[in-house]
């Protein structure tokens, strides 16, 4: 290859590093100074020079480079005549007089800054803050890491096991074994004081959960999840875990929930520690899902890595989907997956949404795309495809994909190719319509005699029309779940002739109904014609859509080799129980929730009247299934807020309507835990009581205050079980004011004194629910103090009361500089936009937010801000439509409340 003169300017403003050199191995030594919060280091990088060049270009950010040299394969040493650090492009350019030939090495020394406790977080592009490196996911290499100057009493961890420790008085040097091939964003180092619990998988993999000193017992549940999921994923993906150990560490200050570093997963303390006295059912389920998600990444993400950040969804969507596949079936965890679908649909109904595969021009901008599209829509379309192809074909294909691309990088097209080979279906033709364009279809269905007619259009909450089209895998059920059809809607319009059985039952006047998207497995919304909608609503109201719990146990479920977590019997395969539940038992619950979901979304998009919601909600009054009731509560919250804006004079009657919907459930469950009750009861109890507390229900208030008082007198009292505390805290804050601060003072006292992080977070989630603006402002100022951990700001922001919105916006603008100083460079800043701006409902507020950020631009939240403003405008438009129904809605609510 003939060398051509290269110019320094050619490297600026480029999305990727030039392909002059490829790293093969890093030998990294870091010397820590924990007292000064600094580190220094040296790194020897073995590289392959691809073509003759006078430049080597690496990533580097905020590092002081002291010495650089290049040594070729003949042991000839060269020193660059210029070392250029470009902070804008985050690159380090080494300029040599001589042309460098192939197959040579580079060595560096660097120095920078780090926090006091060492816990790295390199995803997406922060490895360059620790060492000069080729900081792109496709440029995998092996790593040999040495840590120097470590206080001897501290534990030092990295991706691999320790190979050698040498002690020098009160300090030590720790060397780790050479890693397998991995991307730079997965390199990790942790140094701190920990206790741990330990277990071993069936394959002899040592797994440890490192916890704060004295709290190792709280890591046992997460440890069990990790061990069991390691065994499950090995079988499901037909590929063993590739490392000799897996460490999990609870980090006191951690901005993300968790990070899947190879062999060293880091977590927020609340996501790893399970406290029997302070972990509610919701905490326990979330912990299990988070651990299963991070362990899954060791196959999808770490072993097979996306080629570039455009395919971020490949690791996040798959890890999300498969984590639900692995969790205990008794929890009916696939019901919770429907929340993911709902959140993905909501974001993807925005004009400011984005495609699953999104072009990433600058690696740093990928942080905005760790969102509901990559995680929730991504996992939802995976579930849709798995449902269409069938579990056996899908699982076999994933095993082939993992085997083919192990230790390598892959693109979305590579996965589709393997799936197509196995299934003999053109998967790419179907799935390109889902991953390469944003949005999703609204499937309109009408019955014309014995013919079902379908039409697909894009559903946008703004009702703007686009000519997008999808190939939609759909399921159809009519009058019985045993009568199902699967088909592809490949065009804008489609038809299906109903069979004789359906036509005969319809003519005979029997109770018939048709449900599209039966499993809620299709990523779409459904709109029925009036006749079909009425029949379906009648089926819900008359409980025709019920299912027998014992049905799954009657099925043949003994022939699947995959056994995930906590099987109720060693003879019964929990994996098959779960899949039977999806197809037979949970299908009913998903139908009921799906109908409500679709109706709400269509009303928000002004495609159906708001007044159609209360009638449908009334039919769910006796439904005690958690997923349905939870969604009903969510609709109650949102409907209450939007109607208060549109028709304030109806606020009281609507609140009574919502209370009436939920009260019977609260009475059935009560405040006290029944011995042996299911975990789902705890989930329902918490959500129902919190809802009644939020709607200021008098009897709930009375009971909550009495039980809270008992808790103050005796924290071990049984009168305030962990699943009821959130409701009590909301009642306390809803009845706190600037004239009576006693409730706030009590909660602040508990917050300061309690050691359990779960209880602290629970208080933070509730403390902003006060309706008094003076108290809300005081609580927001509390966020700026050292009493609230940096990461925990998100919990307070998410709980700000409807009455406190204006106060929060005023506070946000007044404290802009402080907020930017503390959170301005992190994804945590997006929570300020979501929780302070999006609760508003007027075009005036949308304009004000746009004007503020025009004069205070923050590129890293630009997309998030556009989405937030769009949500505000969508609600403003919805309010205008609701106002047109004022008389009808008033009569309807009075009839429902006072019947």
Based on the residue annotation, tell me whether 803 is a catalytic residue of this protein: no
Domain count, the chain: 3
Tell me: the pLDDT tens digits for 163-198? Answer: 999 998 899 999 999 999 999 999 999 999 999 999
User: In the Cβ-directed half-sphere of 700, how many Cα atoms lie within 13 Å?
Assistant: 33
Q: How many CB atoms lie within 10 A of CB 889?
A: 23
Per-residue model confidence (pLDDT) at position 803: 94
Q: Is residue 432 part of a domain?
A: yes
Among 40-44, 149-153, 531-535, 713-717, name the one with the lowest average pLDDT: 531-535
Q: What angle do CA 510, 512, 515 make, to 5 degrees?
A: 175
* Residues ≥6 apart with Cβ < 8 Å to 109: 40, 41, 42, 43, 65, 66, 67, 68
pLDDT above 90: percentage of residues in the chain: 60
316 is in an annotated binding site: yes
Measured distance CA(700)–CA(571) in Å, rounded: 45
Q: Is residue 111 pLDDT above 60, yes or no? A: no
Residue 488, domain CATH: 2.60.40.1910
Measured distance CA(96)–CA(71) in Å, rounded: 12
Q: How far apart are the first and last CA of the chain?
A: 87
Same domain, 358 and 418: yes
Measured distance CA(528)–CA(366) in Å, rounded: 38
Looking at residues 253-282, what average pLDDT do you find?
Answer: 91
pLDDT averaged over the chain? Answer: 86
Q: How many CB atoms lie within 10 A of CB 364?
A: 17
Give residue 507's pLDDT band: very low, low, confident or very high (50, 70, 90): low
Per-residue model confidence (pLDDT) at position 509: 63
Same domain, 432 and 445: no
Q: What angle do CA 674, 678, 683 make, to 5 degrees?
A: 95
Per-residue model confidence (pLDDT) at position 553: 30
**CA torsion angle 682 344 431 325 (round to 10):** -20
Tell me: the pLDDT tens digits for 207-247? Answer: 999 999 999 999 999 999 999 999 999 999 999 999 999 99
Structure tokens at 816: 């802009």
Length of the chain: 899
Same domain, 76 and 171: yes
Q: CA torsion sign, 773 to 871 to 257 to 364?
A: negative
Residue 74, domain CATH: 2.60.40.1730
Looking at residues 305-329, what average pLDDT do you find?
Answer: 89
Q: Tell me the pTM.
A: 0.88
Q: Is residue 351 part of a domain?
A: yes
Structure tokens at 44: 């020897």
Q: For the sheet containing 91-100, what is the strand order?
A: 53-59, 91-100, 82-86
Per-residue model confidence (pLDDT) at position 423: 94
Give residue 505's pLDDT band: very low, low, confident or very high (50, 70, 90): low
Q: How many CB atoms lie within 10 A of CB 648?
A: 9
Contact 687, 633 (CB under 8 A): yes
Q: Is residue 562 pLDDT above 50, yes or no? A: no
Looking at residues 685-711, what average pLDDT do you find?
Answer: 96
* Residues ≥6 apart with Cβ < 8 Å to 185: 122, 123, 124, 125, 126, 127, 135, 137
Looking at residues 440-453, what average pLDDT do you find?
Answer: 91
Q: Is residue 371 part of a domain?
A: yes
Q: Which among 512, 547, 581 is the end of a domain?
A: 581
Per-residue model confidence (pLDDT) at position 6: 55
Q: Is residue 490 part of a domain?
A: yes
DSSP string, 468-486: ----EEEEEEESSTTSEEE
Structure tokens at 113: 């800054």
**SS3 of 344, please?**
helix
Q: Is residue 699 part of a domain?
A: no
Q: CA torsion sign, 481 to 484 to 489 to 495?
A: negative
Contact 327, 300 (CB under 8 A): no
3-state secondary structure labels for all residues of 672-708: CCCCCCCHHHHHHHHHHHHHHHHCCCHHHHHHHHHHH
Measured distance CA(419)–CA(389) in Å, rounded: 9
Q: Is residue 824 part of a domain?
A: no
Measured in whole angstroms, the distance separating CA 421 from the mean position of its chain's CA atoms is 31
Structure tokens at 461: 């909450």
Per-residue model confidence (pLDDT) at position 239: 95
Residue 390, domain CATH: 1.10.390.10
Per-residue model confidence (pLDDT) at position 580: 40
Same domain, 113 and 58: yes
Q: Which among 565, 581, 597 is the end of a domain?
A: 581
H or E segment at 881? helix 862-883
Measured distance CA(232)–CA(240) in Å, rounded: 10
Q: Which among 518, 547, 581 is the end of a domain?
A: 581
Q: Is residue 603 pLDDT above 70, yes or no? A: yes
Per-residue model confidence (pLDDT) at position 859: 84
Same domain, 135 and 177: yes
Among 40-44, 351-355, 502-506, 710-714, name the one with the lowest average pLDDT: 502-506
Same domain, 388 and 467: no
Measured distance CA(419)–CA(417) in Å, rounded: 5
Same domain, 7 and 47: yes
Please pick, among 123, 294, 686, 687, the residue that the annotation labels catalytic.
294
Looking at residues 503-529, what average pLDDT do you find?
Answer: 80
Q: Sort strands 162-168 and 195-200 into parallel, antiparallel or unpaired.
A: unpaired
575 is in an annotated binding site: no
Q: Is residue 563 pLDDT above 60, yes or no? A: no
Measured distance CA(469)–CA(82) in Å, rounded: 54
Tell me: the pLDDT tens digits for 834-892? Answer: 899 999 999 999 999 999 999 999 888 889 999 999 999 999 999 999 999 999 998 99
Please identify which residue in the block is written with the tokens 């609510």.
893
Same domain, 405 and 468: no
Rama region for 533: left / alpha / beta (φ>0; ψ in -120 to 50; rest): alpha
739-757 per-residue burial string, b: 16 or more CB within 10 A, e: under 16: eebebbebbbebbeebebb
pLDDT above 70: percentage of residues in the chain: 88
Domain that holds residue 386: 303-436
Per-residue model confidence (pLDDT) at position 49: 83
Same domain, 516 and 408: no
Same domain, 150 and 44: yes
Residue of higher predicted confidence among 452 and 825: 452
Q: What angle do CA 298, 302, 303 make, to 5 degrees?
A: 85
| Residue whose C-alpha is closest to residue 227's, from 246, 213, 212, 243 | 246
Per-residue model confidence (pLDDT) at position 823: 86
**SS3 of 44, please?**
strand
Structure tokens at 485: 């059809």
Same domain, 18 and 152: yes
| Cβ-based burial of 395 (10 A; exposed 0-12, middle 13-18, buried ≥19) | buried
DSSP string, 714-756: -TT-TTS-GGGHHHHHHHHHHT-BTTB-HHHHHHHHHHHH---
Structure tokens at 766: 């509730």
Q: Is residue 761 part of a domain?
A: no
Instruction: Name the DSSP letter for residue 536.
Output: H
Same domain, 428 and 350: yes
Helix axes 862-883, 626-646, angle to 10 degrees: 70
Per-residue model confidence (pLDDT) at position 836: 95
Give residue 204's pLDDT band: very low, low, confident or very high (50, 70, 90): very high
Tell me: the pLDDT tens digits for 350-387? Answer: 999 999 999 888 777 888 888 899 999 999 999 999 98
Q: How many CB atoms lie within 10 A of CB 813?
A: 14
Q: What angle do CA 604, 609, 611 make, to 5 degrees?
A: 105
Q: Is residue 879 part of a domain?
A: no
* Residues ≥6 apart with Cβ < 8 Å to 766: 726, 729, 730, 732, 733, 747, 799
| Cβ-based burial of 690 (10 A; exposed 0-12, middle 13-18, buried ≥19) | buried
Backbone Cα Rg of the chain: 29
Instruction: Name the DSSP letter for residue 882.
Output: H
Contact 595, 635 (CB under 8 A): no
């Amino acid at each position: 290859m003939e060398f051509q003169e290269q110019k320094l300017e050619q490297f600026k403003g480029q999305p990727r590093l030039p392909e002059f050199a490829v790293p093969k191995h890093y030998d990294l030594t870091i010397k820590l100074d924990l007292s000064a919060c600094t580190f220094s280091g040296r790194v020897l990088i073995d590289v392959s020079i691809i073509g003759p060049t006078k430049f080597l270009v690496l990533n580097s950010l905020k590092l002081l480079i002291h010495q650089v040299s290049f040594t070729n394969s003949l042991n000839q040493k060269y020193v660059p005549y210029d070392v250029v650090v470009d902070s804008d492009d985050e690159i380090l350019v080494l300029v040599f007089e001589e042309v460098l030939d192939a197959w040579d090495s580079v060595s560096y020394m660097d120095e920078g800054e780090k926090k006091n406790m060492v816990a790295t977080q390199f995803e997406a592009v922060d490895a360059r803050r620790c060492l000069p490196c080729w900081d792109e996911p496709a440029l995998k290499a092996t790593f040999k890491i040495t840590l120097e100057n470590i206080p001897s009493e501290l534990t030092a961890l990295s991706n691999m096991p320790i190979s050698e420790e040498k002690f020098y008085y009160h300090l030590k040097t720790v060397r780790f074994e050479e890693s397998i091939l991995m991307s730079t964003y997965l390199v990790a180092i942790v140094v701190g004081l920990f206790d741990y619990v330990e277990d071993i998988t069936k394959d002899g993999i040592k797994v440890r959960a490192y916890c704060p000193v004295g709290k190792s017992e709280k890591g046992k549940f997460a440890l069990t999840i990790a061990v069991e999921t390691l065994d499950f994923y090995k079988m499901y993906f037909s590929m063993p875990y590739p490392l000799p150990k897996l460490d999990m560490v609870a980090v006191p200050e951690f901005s993300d929930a968790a990070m899947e570093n190879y062999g060293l997963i880091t977590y927020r303390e609340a996501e790893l520690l399970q406290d029997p006295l302070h972990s509610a059912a919701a905490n326990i389920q979330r912990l299990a899902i988070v651990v299963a998600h991070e362990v899954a990444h060791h196959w999808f993400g770490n072993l097979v890595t996306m080629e570039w950040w455009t395919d971020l969804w490949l690791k996040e969507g798959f890890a999300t989907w498969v984590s639900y596949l692995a969790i205990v079936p008794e929890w009916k965890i696939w019901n919770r997956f429907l929340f993911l679908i709902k959140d993905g649909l909501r974001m993807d109904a925005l004009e400011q949404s984005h495609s699953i595969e999104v072009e990433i021009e600058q690696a740093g901008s990928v942080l905005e795309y760790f969102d509901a599209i990559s995680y929730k829509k991504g996992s939802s379309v995976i579930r849709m495809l798995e449902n269409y192809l069938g579990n056996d074909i899908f699982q076999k294909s994933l095993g082939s994909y993992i085997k083919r691309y192990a230790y390598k990088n892959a693109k979305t097209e590579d996965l589709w190719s393997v799936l197509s080979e196995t299934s003999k279906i053109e998967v790419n033709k179907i799935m390109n319509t889902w991953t390469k364009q944003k949005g999703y279809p609204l499937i309109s269905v009408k019955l014309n005699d014995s013919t079902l007619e379908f039409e697909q259009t894009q559903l946008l909450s703004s009702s703007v029309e686009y000519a997008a089209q999808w190939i939609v895998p759909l399921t159809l059920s009519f009058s019985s779940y045993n009568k199902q059809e699967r088909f592809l809607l490949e065009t804008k319009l489609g038809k299906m002739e109903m069979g004789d059985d359906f036509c005969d039952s319809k003519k005979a006047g029997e109770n018939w109904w048709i449900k599209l998207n039966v499993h809620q497995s299709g990523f779409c919304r459904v709109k029925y014609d009036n006749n079909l909608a009425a029949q379906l609503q009648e089926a819900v109201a008359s409980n025709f859509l019920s299912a027998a719990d014992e049905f799954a146990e009657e099925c043949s479920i003994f022939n699947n080799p995959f056994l995930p977590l906590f099987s109720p019997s060693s003879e019964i395969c929990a994996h098959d129980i779960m899949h039977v539940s999806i197809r037979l038992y949970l299908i009913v619950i998903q139908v009921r929730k799906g109908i409500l979901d679709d109706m709400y979304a269509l009303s928000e998009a002004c495609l159906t009247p708001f007044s159609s919601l209360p009638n449908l909600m009334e039919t769910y009054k006796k439904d005690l299934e958690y997923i349905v009731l939870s969604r009903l509560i969510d609709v109650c919250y949102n409907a209450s807020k939007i109607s208060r804006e549109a028709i304030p004079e109806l606020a009281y009657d609507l609140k009574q309507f919502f209370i009436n919907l939920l009260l019977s459930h609260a009475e059935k469950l009560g405040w006290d835990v029944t011995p042996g009750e299911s975990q789902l009861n705890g989930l329902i109890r918490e959500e129902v009581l919190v809802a009644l507390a939020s709607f200021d229900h008098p009897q709930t208030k009375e009971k909550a205050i009495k039980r809270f008082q008992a808790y103050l007198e005796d924290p071990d009292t049984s009168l305030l079980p962990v699943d009821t505390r959130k409701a009590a805290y909301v009642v306390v804050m809803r009845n706190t004011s600037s004239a009576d601060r006693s409730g706030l003072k009590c909660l602040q006292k508990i917050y300061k004194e309690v050691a359990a992080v779960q209880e602290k977070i629970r208080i933070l989630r509730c403390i902003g629910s006060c309706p008094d603006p003076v108290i809300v402002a005081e609580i927001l100022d509390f966020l700026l103090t050292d009493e609230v951990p940096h990461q925990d700001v998100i919990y307070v922001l998410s709980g700000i009361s409807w009455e406190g919105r204006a106060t929060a916006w005023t506070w946000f603008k007044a404290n802009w500089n402080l907020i930017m100083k503390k959170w301005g460079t992190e994804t945590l800043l997006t929570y300020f936009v979501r929780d302070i701006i999006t609760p508003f409902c007027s075009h005036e507020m949308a304009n004000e937010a746009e004007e503020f950020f025009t004069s205070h631009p923050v590129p890293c939240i630009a997309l998030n801000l556009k989405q937030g403003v769009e949500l505000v405008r969508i609600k403003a438009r919805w309010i205008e439509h609701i106002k047109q129904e004022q008389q009808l809605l008033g009569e309807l609510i009075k009839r429902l409340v006072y019947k």
